[in-house]
């Protein structure tokens, strides 16, 4: 069996439930899959999420920086890695990793998952000037040494496809995926859910709370699941002081590590709301849709792709008034808007289930 090794030094347990862990898991029937990282965490998801199908290799901290440690690892192990995977356009690191792997394994294959948001892709492709042109030249040269490059959203796939930077045969649209689970759709409540970092800087959770306090929420509640970041702690304290009527309307659940428990909350909610400024994909959006949630989201990550597929959601502007109006419209007309969550879930799994995505990736890696 050929080997597939994902190089990801910054791995933490929760990341195993995302693409970094799920791609090796989904390919584990056809490859001997592993992830190479520093020993950063207690990796309980190896068994509970990845079913023990993916191995971890630990980098040795022999040097003063990550680059030297990764290069040492590649030099020592390249001949035993049939397919090596990297993440992100790390201009200062990636070229050296590629050269090193090619030197010690000329017949191996290199797979790059860009995991890039709109701003990163536009910065690469559309920015003008001498520096931007030089960056494109060097990136195009680097891409020639890579066997397969994937991007997570259709929008960015089309931007890259027409950019001239990548051979179209090497580029694939590969979104993040869903692992099949049993979902109980019987106990749904009038809940608008958000899962992720509870912060203002990028996630704009304050926008959701402001819109909710201004809107006629009727008997609907907001549920926030995730760690409260520093920039939201004072805001939430002041928010409840100024809006005492929202104390019973906003439920703060904290960070949930148990995937089955988290699934139950997704299934209990009817609407999922994302107010982010930037997302490369937005896995929580996909998980919410898989659990039959109606999606209200800014135009980030895969929000448009998901809503366009299911016809069950709305794209909003990054604007509190627009969100307020949308919440009121959806709540007021919910009896006409709501659809069978099982139908939505089946549609999502058909297009985003990891088995189908793994087959697509496997075919391109042959």
The pair of structure tokens assigned to 337 is: 């808007």
CA 337 – CA 313 distance, rounded (Å): 9
pLDDT at residue 330, as a whole number? 98
- Whole-number Cα distances in Å, 172 to 85, 114, 238: 15, 11, 47
CA 24 – CA 83 distance, rounded (Å): 11
- pLDDT tens digits, one per residue of 24-34: 999 999 999 99
CA 47 – CA 284 distance, rounded (Å): 21
The residues that bridge with 194 in the sheet, in sequence order, are 224
| CA 261, chain centre distance (Å) | 20
CB 138 within 8 A of CB 178: no
pLDDT at residue 64, as a whole number? 83
pLDDT at residue 333, as a whole number? 98
pLDDT at residue 96, as a whole number? 97
pLDDT at residue 63, as a whole number? 81
CA 293 – CA 193 distance, rounded (Å): 9
- pLDDT tens digits, one per residue of 288-338: 999 999 999 999 999 999 999 999 999 999 999 999 999 999 999 999 999
Give the DSSP letter string of 100-136.
Answer: HHHHH-TT-EEEEE----HHHHHHHHT--SHHHHHHH
CB 82 within 8 A of CB 109: yes
CB 170 within 8 A of CB 143: yes
Close Cβ partners of 330 (under 8 Å, ≥ 6 residues apart): 271, 294, 296, 314, 337
**Angle of CA points 285, 287, 291, to nearest 5°:** 115
The pair of structure tokens assigned to 237 is: 């304290």
The pair of structure tokens assigned to 109 is: 């294959």
Report the chain's terminal Cα–Cα distance, integer Å.
13
CA 174 – CA 312 distance, rounded (Å): 22
pTM: 0.95
- pLDDT tens digits, one per residue of 95-114: 999 999 999 999 999 999 99
Length, in residues, of the chain: 366
Residues of the chain falling short of pLDDT 70: none
Burial class (CB in 10 A: 0-12, 13-18, 19+), 165: buried
Domains with residue ranges and CATH for the chain: 3-178+353-365 (3.40.50.2000), 191-350 (3.40.50.2000)
CA 159 – CA 211 distance, rounded (Å): 33
pLDDT at residue 324, as a whole number? 98
């Amino acid at each position: 069996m050929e080997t597939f090794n994902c190089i990801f030094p910054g791995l933490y347990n929760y990341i195993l439930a995302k693409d970094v862990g799920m791609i090796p898991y989904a390919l584990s029937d056809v490859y001997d899959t592993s992830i190479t990282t520093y020993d950063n965490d207690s990796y309980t998801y190896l068994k509970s999420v990845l079913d023990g199908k993916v191995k971890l290799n630990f980098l040795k901290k022999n040097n003063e920086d990550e680059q030297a440690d990764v290069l040492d690892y590649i030099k020592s192990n390249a001949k035993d890695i049939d397919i090596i995977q990297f993440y992100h356009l790390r201009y200062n690191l990636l070229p050296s990793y590629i050269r090193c792997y090619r030197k010690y394994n000329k017949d191996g294959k290199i797979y790059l998952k860009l995991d890039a948001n709109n701003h990163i892709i536009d910065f690469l492709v559309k920015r003008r000037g001498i520096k931007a042109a030089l960056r494109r030249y060097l990136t195009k040269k680097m891409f020639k040494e890579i066997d397969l490059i994937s991007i997570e959203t259709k929008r960015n796939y089309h931007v890259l496809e027409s950019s001239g930077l990548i051979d179209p045969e090497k580029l694939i649209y590969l979104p993040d995926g869903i692992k099949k689970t049993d979902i109980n759709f019987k106990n749904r409540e009038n809940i608008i859910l958000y899962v992720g970092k509870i912060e203002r800087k990028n996630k704009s959770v304050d926008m959701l709370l402001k819109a909710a306090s201004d809107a006629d929420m009727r008997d609907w509640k907001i549920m926030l699941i995730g760690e409260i970041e520093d920039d939201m702690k004072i805001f939430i304290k002041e928010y409840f002081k100024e809006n005492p009527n929202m104390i019973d309307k906003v439920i703060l659940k904290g960070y949930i590590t148990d995937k089955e428990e988290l699934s139950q909350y997704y299934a209990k909610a009817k609407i999922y709301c994302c107010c982010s400024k930037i997302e490369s994909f937005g896995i929580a959006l996909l998980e919410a849709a898989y659990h039959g949630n109606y999606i209200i989201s800014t135009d980030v990550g895969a929000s448009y792709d998901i809503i366009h597929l299911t016809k069950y959601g709305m794209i909003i502007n990054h604007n509190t008034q627009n969100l307020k109006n949308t919440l009121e419209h959806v709540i007021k007309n919910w009896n006409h808007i709501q659809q069978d969550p099982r139908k939505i879930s089946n549609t999502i799994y058909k297009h985003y289930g990891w088995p189908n995505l793994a087959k697509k990736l496997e075919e391109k890696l042959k």
